[in-house]
Structure 1
């Protein structure tokens, strides 16, 4: 298989990873995370129980988990597509290791990530939506997409940038800082969703209650007391307000950092395209977040908020890759030029 075909396989796998993220958000937001109370099957069957006989047997096996066909199908569809993604990443590794010239590190890391992601998917069910597991599952999905995107970028040609000499170490460091800030904000969003704190505040800019007086840092304890189920949340009102407000403050900080980064990136002509994309995604994400608050978390908007979040993260990955390549071409112009045939 030629290198171009290998890169195409990476691109298709990456596109599927975005579908998995969207399906995961839809599954969570429709309360279908426990649509099947067991794993990897559904009520003891390989797929969703069909017919009166199978559904009666499902009810006898799991009397505390009433069968709901729509939720079961949502959950199993997510598992089927996620399983397909895992197989495609396995195939990607086989392709990579069959040809010495292909990268090995990122494919291997991807395989390890998707295996751990499968475990998190299992624990999401067996630990009945424990928030730290749900948040970890979200981050695992975003990590998988980011690694696939990074691999796709690395397989592309490395253009020599005439303005690369003016790219400073400071810009590279700030671009990395912006990436880490976005990752932190995504984690906060995952924690907000996992603890059902998304609609606890219905006013802007912060909250309709005196959140300063009731701010409770225990809301961020990753290990919570054991419960029969964590569905619909187990934290009290003050704790959920704390999480929600912190997520909003994090959004403001993230926006300020990315605007500052955009101003620095704009000075480099070669980076203006990805800068415009990053700012557009930031604006869209802020708009979706505000809509979630004022419209009480519409399903389509909430799913779009998740998808735009991963796209914003990917734009930061692209920024960091381009800044890194510009730094490299500035340090080693002859080597980069030889790679691109210039």
Structure 2
């Protein structure tokens, strides 16, 4: 049991690192820093010797070697590969354990394999937005599932809050809204629409007349290369505007939910989770505003991605605490 606890804890922090590196890679336009997969120009690491660089550029004449972008991509792959091995260890450890569930480790293993496939398709399909967005959601899902697995391995942190059972459907709605908003953010980033509007509160004058919803949410299949986007300026503005309105809706709905949990909760564990989620919600909204005001500074944009992942993880943990209370309410009354 102790080994599984350690594995789950390490995997959570490693996943956070992979998410940070993934955001950094995407925001430095290094997603195609290595035009092949899983290696880099046919090598296990970025080619550095001149004759290796020459061979690489002959093999991929359309993608000259840019060392810093290639290293950004390969470091991300190394960390992601390490995470995959760690999740495989969690799976096999659960198989041979009599004291832990096997469903979540099995789902985690399947998800990390699919996530690796998405990473490959990100490269082979030249940053197809649908794949890029799916890759983002996959990473966030792995983090949340690892947190649930960790909680199940630490029963001392589970709470019993019968007064909060009625909030369980609200919690599911909140998580669904946040996932939709994260997907919108991923769609915005994958289509290079983060700077399509640089004025507050909505967009530049006349934005309503320029809305193009059909193009904004088209899958845009069939292009040879999606680097730097294939949408028109109007479609990118539309995506950006939807993400902004989604941010306001998410802020209001999540704040209402967290306020209700805070008022009714009696355990310090749940109150701390709720407070942490509320602080991350405010930070996330502020980072989004700063992305516009400061024209997408790298550190701020990476933080915006990272905070979203952690906010989702905390909301999933809060939901699991409410679900645990619901599961055990019958036992408590016997």
Is TM (by shorter chain) over 0.5? Answer: yes
Report the equivalent of 1:289. Answer: 288
Report the CA distance between 1:8 and its aligned residue: 1.3
Match of 1:241 among 231, 237, 243: 237
> Displaced runs of 4+ in structure 1, greater than 6 A?
none
**Aligned partners of 2:111, 2:216: CA distance in 1, in Å?**
25
Moved more, 16-25 or 223-232: 223-232
**Aligned partners of 2:158, 2:213: CA distance in 1, in Å?**
49
**Aligned partners of 1:310, 1:160: CA distance in 2, in Å?**
22
Report the CA distance between 1:205 and its aligned residue: 0.9
Report the equivalent of 1:134. Answer: 132
Q: Tell me, what secondary structure is at the counterpart of 1:40?
A: coil
Report the CA distance between 1:226 and its aligned residue: 1.9
**Aligned partners of 1:146, 1:159: CA distance in 2, in Å?**
16
Moved more, 274-283 or 321-330: 321-330
Report the CA distance between 1:231 and its aligned residue: 0.5
Report the equivalent of 1:10. Answer: 8
Match of 1:45 among 43, 46, 49: 43
Are positions 1:210 and 2:210 aligned together?
no
Post-superposition Cα deviations, 1:277-318, rounded to whole Å, max 9, x if no partner, equal: 111000100111111111111110111011100011011011
**Aligned partners of 2:81, 2:175: CA distance in 1, in Å?**
28
Change in Cα spacing, 1:56 to 1:248, as seen in structure 2 (3 Å) is: same
**Aligned partners of 2:233, 2:30: CA distance in 1, in Å?**
24
Are positions 1:91 and 2:94 aligned together?
no
- How many residues align? The count is 331
Report the equivalent of 1:167. Answer: 164
Match of 1:75 among 73, 79, 88: 73
Report the CA distance between 1:158 and its aligned residue: 5.1
Q: Once superposed, what is the RMSD of the aligned Cα atoms? A: 1.5
Q: Tell me, what secondary structure is at the counterpart of 2:324?
A: helix
What is the TM-score when the length of structure 2 is the normalising length? Answer: 0.96
* Structure 2 segments unaligned to the other structure (5+ residues): none
**Aligned partners of 2:206, 2:256: CA distance in 1, in Å?**
31
Are positions 1:179 and 2:178 aligned together?
no
**Aligned partners of 2:238, 2:157: CA distance in 1, in Å?**
46
Report the equivalent of 1:102. Answer: 100
Report the CA distance between 1:26 and its aligned residue: 0.3
What is the TM-score when the length of structure 1 is the normalising length? Answer: 0.93
1:36–1:42: 8 Å Cα contact kept in structure 2? yes
2:164–2:261: 8 Å Cα contact kept in structure 1? no
1:158–1:325: 8 Å Cα contact kept in structure 2? no
**Aligned partners of 2:147, 2:127: CA distance in 1, in Å?**
29
Report the equivalent of 1:59. Answer: 57
Q: Tell me, what secondary structure is at the counterpart of 2:155?
A: coil
* Structure 1 segments unaligned to the other structure (5+ residues): 336-342
Matches within 5 A, 1:295-314: 295-314=294-313
